[in-house]
Amino acid sequence: MKQFIKTDPWKLVETTFHPEYHANSESIFSIGNGKMGQRANFEEDYSGDSLRGNYVAGIYYPDKTRVGWWKNGYPEYFAKVLNAVNWIGLHIKINGELLDLNKCEILNFERVLDMQHSLLKRRFTARLANGNEVSVEAVRFYSLADDEIGALSYTVKAENFDGKVEIESYLDFNVVNQDSNYDQRFWEPISQEINGDYGQVKSVTKKTNFIVACGMHNSLFVNGDRTEAGKEVTEQNQLVSHKFSLQVSQGDTITLEKIISTVSTFYYEADQMDEACRKNVERGVAKGFDALKKEHALKWEENWTHYDIEIEGDVSAQQAIRFNIFQLNQTYTGKDDRLNIGPKGFTGEKYGGSTYWDTEAYCLPFYLSTAPQDVARNLLLYRYKHLGKAIENAGKLGFNSGAALYPMVTMNGEECHNEWEITFEEVHRNGAIAYAIFDYVRYTGDREYLIDYGLEVLIAISRFWAQRVHFSQVKQQYVIHGVTGPNEFENNVNNNWYTNFIAKWCLNYTSEIMEEVKTKAPQKYTALLGKLNLNETETLNSWAEIADKMHLPEDKERGIYLQQEGFLDKEIIPVADLDPKHLPIVQNWSWDRILRSCYIKQADVLQGLYFFEDQFSKETIKRNFDYYEPITVHESSLSPCVHCILASAIGNEEKAYEMFMRTARLDIDDFNNDTEDGCHITSMAGTWGAFVKGFGGMRVQNDQLSLAPFLPKSWKGYAFTIGFRGHWITVKVKPDAITIINKEGGPMQVTLHGKDLTIQEGENILAHALH
């Protein structure tokens, strides 16, 4: 672990510059607003190791898949979120010497991420090679209130010298992706322009033809007074700049305020972009930096009232849970059903910025409870609108009759993952898409979604499962061979319990919803059957037989479900008995050794017990948890959160707290030695779930919110706010009592530790003593 970040309830604070951890800091100090985001790169030149990254939502490139062999159905490309225009860039010279912290003596340094207001701040004092000392204060943000605008303020103070200071503020579209398979450049230049007040660059992506334009305005102040001293303009290929040269005296301060706008053909027609970009910049300049910052900060403060979690007595946990919530909300705002949540969000290039099953399995519950209902609904509509592509994907693998296999990784509905054991075998992802529909309807009560959209998706997924199984004459049951379960340290296995179980559940749930829609909307139901060319009786009978005879491997002697057939043939050695030098095993062992081992990357059987907890006894969950958790290395970011929730459910409070802190501080402390590539955004939703579903015991049962909170021993109290079917409540937990506050939405029924309560709007109920 790398524990160099100071604890603070609302901030990440780095008080010493660690060049060896700089890429980590660039990840965890990232900022964004749902439309744009960027890593915490330095504004001024930095010649040390750095992963420069500025990303624009919806913009990607289909990078040709790089493999040494090819199989039918293999995706032709891997989608890449693209590093876009570098707008924060500044060249700063002090008496001819370039300011570069990799070549300076750093006298003091502080980098701060203000999570309450989404402001990235930095201050330092540096001595250059010529002996001149400068102090710098910088603050920047992507506006949440005006989401096509970004702004930067950068102040330089002459500490011990008189002389010449040069500041060149630029836009540079000569950018590359570190993860390009063939070192390609993904952008082609279109135009650049620069004049006294405004500069703009514009480029187009190769193949996908997305156009992105970025415009800027720079204002310079000396000791608080605006100046145009020594201003020059520069125009090169895809780079424009305003350069200021001026004489200063010791103690003088120079402040550059830079306001930019980035627009793309994701939202504008190509012939509208120049005007839109210029108008956005003009609007930002008219407001001014301080006003932009104020409205942005107020928007964040307002939003925090819906999703903040307060923890008393553990600043490390408090900082971590807010960090997770913050990163989620600057990644996805839910305004556009064409967008989704990439595993790295706007914090790095790894995983291509694409959509995984993480969204349905982990992220959806967060947005269900903390945002308006249409935000979660848009996540489901994203998949509905990709249904045609999912059917095409299944067709490429030999499935027919309208069967759908949703992609493991996608930008536009096409599969673009480039590892065969994932692309072809990790078919359980289909189950997560179906489960998300169930989860959404259970939480919101929006059964109209099933009629208009959901059932069509469910039928296509169930058609896939019906073709993916085969009947075993030996077992006299249906089986599923050649899969990878959620535990990606096992490939090409037969009868993965989780995959078989969720396939069985999908078939039953789809049949149940078909009957419901048939009753509630018979005309739409008949039209849908016609559209899908579905024989109702034949289909339902077939699905019922498959579900009834699905093979679910188990060991009755131990009372556990088997992760897959043959799992007990492995040598079972607990992780605690491994020499720590082997961890993480994915970075220290060969793949052959990993595949032969018993070690589990993330919840697999336990993923199914988490999803379908109400179908299993607490004793069954505990037996499986106690067997599988000790051999789980948690080397997927998605692992600790599920284990926290289940540990809480079975009363293992110590393990629940351990798993919560691991998921919550995963990136801040770099548990898995990979934060430099970007933060684990989708697992952060799991962190929220670990808290609210784990410690808070939040479930939906019988169309009603149910709570069963407990307080970790080291905490003095906590509070969280959640929305449910138009209501907003705050739950406060103390050592001796639980208080529930009904903030809005009218009277509300809540179950607390098994007891039904009615809470009037505006009422605070001291509801229950902790036991």
Identity of residue 149: I
Determine the Cα–Cα distance for residues 129 and 103; give it in Å rounded to an integer. 8
| Active-site residue, selected from the candidate residues 14, 26, 133, 488 | 488
Residues 392/467, Cβ–Cβ less than 8 Å: no
Query: At residue 234, what are phi and psi to the nearest 5 degrees?
Result: -130, 140
Strand partners, 242: 169, 233
The pair of three-digit structure tokens given for residue 752, joined into one six-digit string: 């607390």
Q: Look at the alpha carbons of 226, 228, 230, 232 in this order and tell me if their dihedral is positive or negative.
A: positive
Residues 281/261, Cβ–Cβ less than 8 Å: yes
Per DSSP, helices labelled H in 613-652 are 618-628, 639-649
Determine the Cα–Cα distance for residues 226 and 555; give it in Å rounded to an integer. 77
Residues 142/31, Cβ–Cβ less than 8 Å: yes
Residues 210/227, Cβ–Cβ less than 8 Å: no
How much helix, strand and coil, in percent to the nearest 5, is found in the chain?
Answer: 35, 25, 40
Distances in Å between the alpha carbon of 82 and those of 185, 347, 429? 10, 12, 25
The pair of three-digit structure tokens given for residue 701, joined into one six-digit string: 């049962």
The pair of three-digit structure tokens given for residue 378, joined into one six-digit string: 């848009």
Query: At residue 53, what are phi and psi to the nearest 5 degrees?
Result: -155, 125
Measured at the alpha carbon of residue 756, what is the angle toward residues 750 and 758, in degrees to the nearest 5?
60
417's CB contacts (< 8 A; 6+ apart) are 75, 78, 407, 408, 409, 423
* Residues across the chain: 771
Query: At residue 163, what are phi and psi to the nearest 5 degrees?
Result: 145, -155
CA-based Rg of the chain, rounded to a whole angstrom? 27
- With CA atoms as reference, report the closest residue to 720 among 728, 699, 302: 728
Q: Are strands 149-158 and 253-264 parallel, antiparallel or unpaired?
A: antiparallel
Token look-up 């935000």 returns: 375
| Residue 635 CB neighbour total at 10 angstroms | 22
Determine the Cα–Cα distance for residues 642 and 630; give it in Å rounded to an integer. 14
Residue 653 annotated to the active site: no
Q: Look at the alpha carbons of 284, 290, 292, 295 in this order and tell me if their dihedral is positive or negative.
A: negative
114's CB contacts (< 8 A; 6+ apart) are 10, 11, 120, 121
- With CA atoms as reference, report the closest residue to 279 among 198, 219, 220: 198
Token look-up 């506050």 returns: 741
DSSP states of 157-222: EESS--EEEEEEEEEE-----TT-TT----EEEEEEEE-SS-EEEEEEETTT--EEEEEEEEEEEE
Distances in Å between the alpha carbon of 11 and those of 1, 114, 322? 20, 5, 9
> Catalytic residue numbers?
488
